A and B are shown apart, each in its own frame.
Chain A
Amino acid sequence: MLELVGAQPPEDDRVAESLLAGVPEAHRLAAWILRDSVCAEDAVQEALLRAWKVRQTIRLELGEPQRWFMRIVVNVCRDELRRRRRSVLAAEPASGVASSPADQSAADYTDLDRAIGRLKPDEQVVLGLRFGRDLTIPQIAAQTGLREGTVKSRLHYALEHVRAALEAERRAQEQKR
């Protein structure tokens, strides 16, 4: 049996066109998963590079190149979240939640930032797709290649972990007072 190596120019053109068509959606996905616009742009470029390297695995007339590209984007984001999470866990929790009403909105985001940053990367991915991109469970399953049951359980645990982190932070603030 022969393993084919390297897609050739005509196929390449169609792959390139398909990848470029998917860039805006890839950018949105990455922004919601990573919660950082600069990192999202870097993630899209990295995903393009990875996609191009393995382009021979696509048969455009049979496969779904956009879905395939989005999975690469999600994987790139997951890698970035893993790297980021190590530094988050190594750092001390940020001090204090703003107490004045005017600062309350920013405080909401600060504690959510910390809570989400401590989640496992896979949980951060499903949260971003669910509440950022506003995808349904079946859509997240299709986007990530996970089973729907796996998506549901990850989403459930992610919400529980966020809730627990917020509650712990609230109690810590009460004790400080």
Chain B
Amino acid sequence: MSNADLEARLRSYYGRYRPDDSTTVVLAARTHLDEIRSRPARGFWSARGIAAGLVVAVLAVVMAAGGLLVVLGGLPASQAGPSGAASASAPASAVAGTISKSQAAAALKDFVGHDIGSVTVEGPSPWGGGSAYEIMGTVPNPISGRVDAVTGKVVSLMLSVPETTTVNLTPGQAEAAASAFFKAHDIPVEGLTATVKLEDHGCCKLYSVEWVRVENGARTPDSRLAQVDPSNGTVFSFSIFSEPYGPVASPSIGRDQAITLATAAGGLTKPKLEAAELLIVSGSAYAGTGWSGRLVWSIQLSDDSKGYVSAVWVYVDGVTGETMIAGRG
């Protein structure tokens, strides 16, 4: 049998296994991921010591007050008042100074401009420098978003990723679409630096447009991200992440020196530099590590000398030269 014949038979054979539809798998995956995420994260809380005790105490107060931890069921327009007013059956605010779960759900509904079906509300949990509720809906497709627990503003939204590989927009048009979206929702991006990336995920392509505040050459934990359908310019996902940070000094460790230090710390056999970036370490993401708010060089190295590609991300303190393995892959 010739190669061509064999390959033709193989293509025909494999053609039988093409999945018709991945919708149910996506829904199951979302549920699965939600379940995984809702499991107690012992390491997370144990690293926070007193904070864990405070959270437990707050939850105990909420439960004792009759507040529901999860709000289930539809949120018809007749129950949800305008501009985030609480419904008659809504639980009281979980903590003084925060909005209630139903107010948070109503805020998300107002933002998207239509009913979002069966609603689940969790939190509030840490987000940026504050906290936010996480809200999940079902209409017209799975939808999730975060609402700031104090201001009631929507800080992130995720609709279903459009399954398209058609790219009708240029990067500039994608940026304009994302910019118009933020402007329409009074989310300022002035003074931030935009980068646009066309991402190819096989099933679908999308534009990621991110605005980041850059100070003294360093990326700061103040960003806005929008994901745009490349076929028609619709924004289907966005998030606002903004944390307080101190003055950004100039690094005393240079880029080359940082790469040398990272290479020594990374432990790869034949390291190859993939990226080097100066940034301020996120306070919430690295709380408890002693690295929050530090000015660091983030160095990405790879190594393919063993057949497979290994990667390591190293943070090098921009002042002291101290190193930390931020991740391996």
Interface, chain A (partner B; CB < 8 A): 1-14, 16-17, 19-25, 27-29, 31-32, 35-37, 40-41, 44-45, 48-49, 52, 56-59, 61-63, 66, 68, 70, 108-109, 112-113, 116, 127-128, 131-132, 134, 145-147, 150, 159, 162-163, 166-167
Contacts and interface: CB of A to CB of B under 8 A. Distances in A.
B225 to A, nearest CB: 8
Interface of B: 1, 3, 6-7, 9-19, 22, 24-26, 28-30, 32-33, 36-37, 41, 43-44, 47, 125-128, 146, 156, 158, 161, 163, 199, 201-204, 206, 219, 225, 237, 239, 241, 265, 274-275, 277, 282, 284-287, 289-291, 298, 300, 304, 307-309, 311, 313, 322-329
B209 to A, nearest CB: 13
A36 B237 CA distance: 33
B29 A44 contact: yes
A126 B28 CA distance: 27
Contact of B10 (A41, A68, A127, A147): A127
A56 B327 contact: yes
B120 to A, nearest CB: 15
B19 A146 contact: no
A128 B327 contact: no
A21 B241 CA distance: 20
A10 B222 CA distance: 12
A20 B36 contact: no
A59 B313 contact: yes
Contact of A150 (B36, B241, B307): B307
A2 B323 CA distance: 7
A149 to B, nearest CB: 9
Nearest to B12: A108
B284 A10 contact: yes
Nearest to B10: A131
Contacts of A10: 126-128, 241, 282, 284-285
Contact of A63 (B12, B18, B290, B300): B300
Which of A24, A112, A113, A147 is packed against the most chain B CB atoms within 10 Å? A24
Contacts of A35: 14, 17
A57 B311 CA distance: 9
B327 A4 contact: yes
Q: A-B pairs with the 9 shortest C-beta distances?
A: A25-B202, A132-B14, A24-B22, A24-B203, A57-B327, A131-B10, A25-B203, A145-B308, A27-B22
